[in-house]
Amino acid sequence: MTIEDFYHNEITTLPDSKTRGAWIKMISTLQNHICAALEATDGKSKFQEDQWIREEGGGGKTRVIANGNVFEKGGVNTSVVFGDVTEAMKSQLKSNASVQAYSDQQLKWFACGISIVIHPSNPFVPTVHCNYRMFELYGKVDGNETVIDRWFGGGTDLTPYYLFEEDAFHFHSTYKKVCDGFDKDFYKKFKEECDGYFVNHHRDHERRGIGGIFYDHQRPSVSKEISFWMDFGKACGDTFTTAYLPIVEQRKNTSYSSENKYWQEIRRGRYVEFNLVHDRGTLFGLKTNGRTESILMSLPPTVRFDYEHHPQPGSEEAKLVEVLLKPKDWVEGR
């Protein structure tokens, strides 16, 4: 099997290929579209692709950009991975009802997603993260192998180094508009989930950024079928460029001092702390023999860790920390 076989959903060991195939195609198209848009904005550097095959099943396409006009380091990664549900995975999925119900069977799993982290060089341009994924579990029902569980998750969040309220408003209201098109309750719910997730609990519960939206374990239902969640993931994914790139364009030529850069590198340290200490995806990947270089492409290029670094009270830096300690309602609160 080659990486293209996996990306064309030619996975003969798994049943029910329709949803899977459509999702893989969407993720793959999204990767191309986002890379092209980021390259156009950067104007200098191009993404380099590394294809990798996973011994236990599947593989991925890791695309990395570095030392651009705008982007100092960034990755737009996709993966199409599958295999047997191992003991390690079972303990991760221990609260999953299907895993419990089919505990006498050797189940199989499948996951496909896109994961993006972009670190610009200019401290006035925010870092952004985005991830959309689908997970399926397979088991035998009446002797026939079939999908026994399926869920969707994802989100996009912004990590500025300096706070521009209009950028926060633009970012959040753009995602609110997408959410509102699907369910009027989504934005509030997924914004709160985001604020509750990207938290450095060991730093007085400071958030790593100003949030965005985050959702997980969303299972198709009678009122929200498979196509609903596929469309929602696609809409959120497509919105990445609309939500992020206007902010990049607005800030990328702002001149900055070495003090601004220093502050960015201090804050990047907090980004590292969150990803390595708290982020479930990163830790799960590192501890289950995931591809380390693809997982850790999320880490910022240059970072500082100072002892007891605190911004001057009243400074622009302090203003940022204030909203990280106490998340704001950017859309309604304006």
List of residues contacting its own copies (CB under 8 A): 50, 64, 66, 73, 75, 201-203, 265, 269, 272-273, 276-277, 283, 286-287, 292-293, 296-297, 299-308
Closest CB 277 distance from its own copies, rounded Å: 5
Q: Which of the 8 DSSP states describes residue 312?
A: P
The values of phi and psi at residue 85, to 5°, are -75, 110
Residue 220 or 281: the one with the smaller Cβ distance to its own copies is: 281
188: how many CB neighbours lie within 10 A of its CB? 15
User: How many Å separate Cα 156 from the centre of its chain?
Assistant: 6
Residue 185 or 293: the one with the smaller Cβ distance to its own copies is: 293
Residue 3 or 296: the one with the smaller Cβ distance to its own copies is: 296
Closest CB 44 distance from its own copies, rounded Å: 17
Closest CB 309 distance from its own copies, rounded Å: 9
Closest CB 156 distance from its own copies, rounded Å: 21
Contacts with 195 (C-beta within 8 Å, 6 or more apart), sequence order = 207, 211, 327
Residue 245 or 283: the one with the smaller Cβ distance to its own copies is: 283
Residue 111 or 283: the one with the smaller Cβ distance to its own copies is: 283
Residue 136 or 279: the one with the smaller Cβ distance to its own copies is: 279
8, 119, 129, 309: the catalytic one is: 129
Closest CB 239 distance from its own copies, rounded Å: 26
Residue 63 or 108: the one with the smaller Cβ distance to its own copies is: 63
Closest CB 62 distance from its own copies, rounded Å: 8
Q: Could you write out the DSSP letters of every residue in 90-153?
A: HHHTTT-HHHHHTTTS--EEEEEEEEEEEEESSTTSPEEEEEEEEEEEEEEETTEEEEEEEEEE
Closest CB 289 distance from its own copies, rounded Å: 8
225: how many CB neighbours lie within 10 A of its CB? 11
Strand partners, 110: 82, 136
| Cα–Cα distance, 173 to 203 (Å, whole number) | 28
| Cα–Cα distance, 126 to 228 (Å, whole number) | 31
Q: Could you write out the DSSP letters of every residue in 162-197?
A: S--HHHHHHHHHHHHHHHHTT-TTHHHHHHHHHHHH
The question of whether 33 is a catalytic residue gets the answer no
Nearest to 7 by CA among 55, 38, 68, 53: 53
User: Exposed, middle or buried: residue 103 (CB in 10 Å: 0-12, 13-18, 19+)?
Assistant: exposed
Strand order in the sheet with 144-159: 48-53, 58-66, 71-84, 108-120, 127-141, 144-159, 211-218
The values of phi and psi at residue 315, to 5°, are -75, 170
State the catalytic residues: 129
